């Protein structure tokens, strides 16, 4: 069976985009008990709708329930678990062992142990096997040879992170945010303090504790060979555009591996696409070596704003496409259109209309509605971006 490509989804639109751009499964957060309190998150009716949408395409939906539970958090969680099981989710991603036991004792739904538990060795995984856990999301800090040994010595489905932001501290073992901002990072409130700039005194050079993002595109083939079952992308706060680009890129790499058509050309092209959509540098961190100073951002946050995302098509009337605009572009610009069926189409903007149908020469108001006539049959959720491949 093919390895699973697992995407984050911060809301219903992103769930749909992740599914149609090639994810096999998505993970979402409900209104409580997950580590992204600032993501839009899903109401119960949205969970139902998301599950219905994903299941119709043969995809799965996992719900994160992975905060560090304190006594007060337990009051309502049991009712909530029943509600979301009824809504149709396929698995819970859990860190608290009492919640694991409760779900296992009362429901047939799968339980995946969250990376928050920092599982890093085969004996822990063997123990979790005895507890009937269905999958373990390993700590992001586990080396390749240890992943291989864990897979060889257990029968557990192993999931690993392959792309996105990393913690400077081992995930789930950081309380910087609590101390600095009164926001509990293990109950969804992380303010990313590690990316702040600090200085020892007024004369010293400012420094940060942030680390580069993870990018495992070069190691996908190796990880499939050692038996990893699921590849997880980080980022429930990421934009629809980021998800579409990253998911479709990994989709093409995975499919090419299974069809024996992965070439260095294709891999280089995908690396170029992935680096373009990211606003930070990236690294493989702990997989093939010990992470060191080269994986860190000592000075500054190291982030660039990304203005490549120009708009998303959400309605069509023959060849007239209605687009929610994101960043500035104008008549005469050469752009790329990416589509859910993995096409990348070059296009020159030769016409532009505002919502009322009046001709305009620039699209310069984020989130405004514009229309473009394009002589191609493009699916809904196709996206327009600056040219990546020239
Ligand atoms: S402050 Fe940084 S290291 Fe700590 S939990 Fe937040 S992102 Fe992770």
The tens digit of pLDDT for each residue in 292-335 reads 989 998 876 566 667 889 999 999 998 999 999 999 999 999 99
Position 211 in a domain: yes
Task: Please give the mean pLDDT across all residues of the chain.
Answer: 92
Count how many domains the chain has.
2
The confidence score (pLDDT) of residue 36 equals 67
Q: Whose CA is nearest to atom 8 of ligand 1?
A: 167
Ligand 1 atom with least separation from CA of 169: 3
Does 292 share its domain with 370? no
CA distance 192 to 187: 14
The domain containing residue 345 runs over which residues? 309-386
Q: Whose CA is nearest to atom 6 of ligand 1?
A: 192
Does 181 share its domain with 54? yes
The confidence score (pLDDT) of residue 206 equals 87
Ligand 1 atom with least separation from CA of 165: 7
- Angstrom CA distances, 370 to 308, 309, 334, 364, 381, stand at 17, 15, 17, 10, 15
Ligand 1 atom with least separation from CA of 186: 5
Among candidate residues 152, 155, 104, the one with its CA nearest the CA of residue 127: 155
Tell me the average pLDDT across 148-173: 94
The confidence score (pLDDT) of residue 31 equals 79
Band (pLDDT 50/70/90 cuts) for residue 2 is very high
Band (pLDDT 50/70/90 cuts) for residue 348 is very high
Tell me the average pLDDT across 167-195: 88
To the nearest whole percent, how much of the chain has pLDDT over 70? 96
The confidence score (pLDDT) of residue 300 equals 63
Ligand 1 atom with least separation from CA of 185: 5
Q: What angle do CA 309, 315, 321 make, to 5 degrees?
A: 70
At 187-198, the pLDDT tens digits run: 888 888 988 888
Q: Whose CA is nearest to atom 5 of ligand 1?
A: 174
Position 162 in a domain: yes
Distance 115 CA to ligand 1 centre (A): 14
Position 304 in a domain: no
Position 261 in a domain: yes
Tell me the average pLDDT across 362-385: 93
CATH number of the domain residue 334 falls in = 2.40.30.10
Ligand 1 atom with least separation from CA of 194: 2
The confidence score (pLDDT) of residue 187 equals 84
Name the residue of 140, 178, 193, 214 whose CB sits within 8 Å of the most ligand 1 atoms, as the mutation to test its pocket: 193
Name the residue of 165, 169, 197 whose CB sits within 8 Å of the most ligand 1 atoms, as the mutation to test its pocket: 169
List residues near ligand 1 (CB under 6 A): 167-169, 174, 176-177, 185, 190, 192-194
Does 291 share its domain with 335? no
Distance 209 CA to ligand 1 centre (A): 9
Position 302 in a domain: no
At 251-305, the pLDDT tens digits run: 999 999 999 999 999 999 999 999 988 878 899 999 998 899 899 988 765 666 6
13: Cβ contacts below 8 Å, ≥ 6 apart: 240
The confidence score (pLDDT) of residue 280 equals 86
At 13-56, the pLDDT tens digits run: 999 999 999 999 999 998 777 766 666 689 999 999 999 999 99
CATH number of the domain residue 48 falls in = 3.20.20.380
Ligand 1 atom with least separation from CA of 195: 2
CA distance 82 to 25: 21
Helix (H) or strand (E) segment spanning residue 284: none
In the listed set 237, 270, 297, which residue is the last one of a domain according to the structure? Answer: 297
Top pLDDT among 81 and 195 is at 81
Does 284 share its domain with 244? yes
Pairing of the two strands 4-8 and 25-29:
parallel
In the listed set 270, 297, 324, which residue is the last one of a domain according to the structure? Answer: 297
Helix (H) or strand (E) segment spanning residue 235: none
Q: Quick one: tokens of 342?
A: 């993995």
The confidence score (pLDDT) of residue 87 equals 97
At 104-158, the pLDDT tens digits run: 999 999 999 999 999 999 999 999 999 999 999 999 999 999 999 999 999 999 9
Tell me the average pLDDT across 75-96: 95
CA atoms within 13 A on the CB side of 263: 4
Helix (H/G/I), strand (E/B), else coil: 297 = strand
CA distance 174 to 300: 20
């Amino acid at each position: 069976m093919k390895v699973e490509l697992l995407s984050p989804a911060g809301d219903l639109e992103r769930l749909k985009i992740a599914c149609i751009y090639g994810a096999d499964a998505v993970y979402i957060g409900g209104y409580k008990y997950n580590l992204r309190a600032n993501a839009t998150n899903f109401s119960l009716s949205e969970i139902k709708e998301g599950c219905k949408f994903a299941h119709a395409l043969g995809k799965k939906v996992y719900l994160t329930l992975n905060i560090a539970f304190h006594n007060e958090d337990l009051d309502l969680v049991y009712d909530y678990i029943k509600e979301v099981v009824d809504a149709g989710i396929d698995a819970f991603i859990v860190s608290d062992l009492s919640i694991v036991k409760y779900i296992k004792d009362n429901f047939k739904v799968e339980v995946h142990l969250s990376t928050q538990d920092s599982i890093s060795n085969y004996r822990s995984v063997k123990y979790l096997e005895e507890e009937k856990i269905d999958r373990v999301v390993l700590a992001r800090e586990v080396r390749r040879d240890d992943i291989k040994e864990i897979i060889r010595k257990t029968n557990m489905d192993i999931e690993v992170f392959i792309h996105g932001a990393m913690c400077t501290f081992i995930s789930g073992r950081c309380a910087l945010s609590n101390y600095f901002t009164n926001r509990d990072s293990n109950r969804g409130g992380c303010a990313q303090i590690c990316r702040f700039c600090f200085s020892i005194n007024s004369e010293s050079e400012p420094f940060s504790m942030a680390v580069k993002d993870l990018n495992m595109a070069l190691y996908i083939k190796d990880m499939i060979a050692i038996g990893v079952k699921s590849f997880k992308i980080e980022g429930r706060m990421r934009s629809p555009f980021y998800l579409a680009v990253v998911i479709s890129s990994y989709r093409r790499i995975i499919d090419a591996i299974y069809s024996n058509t992965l070439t260095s050309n294709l891999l280089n092209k995908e690396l170029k696409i992935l680096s373009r959509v990211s606003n930070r540098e990236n690294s493989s961190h702990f997989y093939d070596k010990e992470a060191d100073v080269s994986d860190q951002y000592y000075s500054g946050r190291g982030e660039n704003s990304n203005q490549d995302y120009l708009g998303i098509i959400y309605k069509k009337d023959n060849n007239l496409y209605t687009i929610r605009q994101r960043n500035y572009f104008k008549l005469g610009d050469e752009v790329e259109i990416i589509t859910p069926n993995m096409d990348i189409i070059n296009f020159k903007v030769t016409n532009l209309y505002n919502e009322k149908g009046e001709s305009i020469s620039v699209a310069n108001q984020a989130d405004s509605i514009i229309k473009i006539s394009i002589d191609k049959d493009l699916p809904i959720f196709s996206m327009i971006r600056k040219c990546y491949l020239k």
